[in-house]
Amino acid sequence: MKKSASVMMACMLLVACSKAPPTDTVDSLVAHPDHLREVEKRCADDYAKMGAAECNAASEARHRLFMGNGPQYTPPKKPPTF
């Protein structure tokens, strides 16, 4: 019984030490540009501490703010005549 309790405690400690998922989603960063700037600055200063998931979310949010989510450009089938 004591052995299973110690194994259970070890598992709980490992779970507690694991990294938490990023709290900022792309949509939340798009909705709050001031917070997006803070996250981008922290990623630029210390990428290893921030982690790839949050920095990638910030990058995608900046892309959406700059490019938008509108329809993609499709060129006409017939080339223009000059």
Query: What is the tens place of the pLDDT at every residue in 30-66?
Result: 999 999 999 999 999 999 998 899 999 999 999 999 8
What total of structural domains would you count in the chain? 1
pLDDT of the residue at 55:
94
Is residue 76 one of the residues assigned to a domain?
A: no
**Local confidence band at 19 (pLDDT 50, 70, 90 cut-offs):** low
Q: Check: CB of residue 54 under 8 Å from CB of residue 44.
A: no
Range of the domain at 29: 19-67
Residue 21: CA atoms inside 13 Å, Cβ hemisphere, count?
Answer: 1
Rounded to the nearest integer, the mean pLDDT of the chain is: 82
Q: How many CB atoms neighbour CB 57 within 10 A?
A: 23
Q: How is residue 78 written in tokens?
A: 């017939």
pLDDT of the residue at 32:
93
Is residue 49 one of the residues assigned to a domain?
A: yes
d(CA 51, CA 5): 33
Is residue 61 one of the residues assigned to a domain?
A: yes
pLDDT of the residue at 13:
63
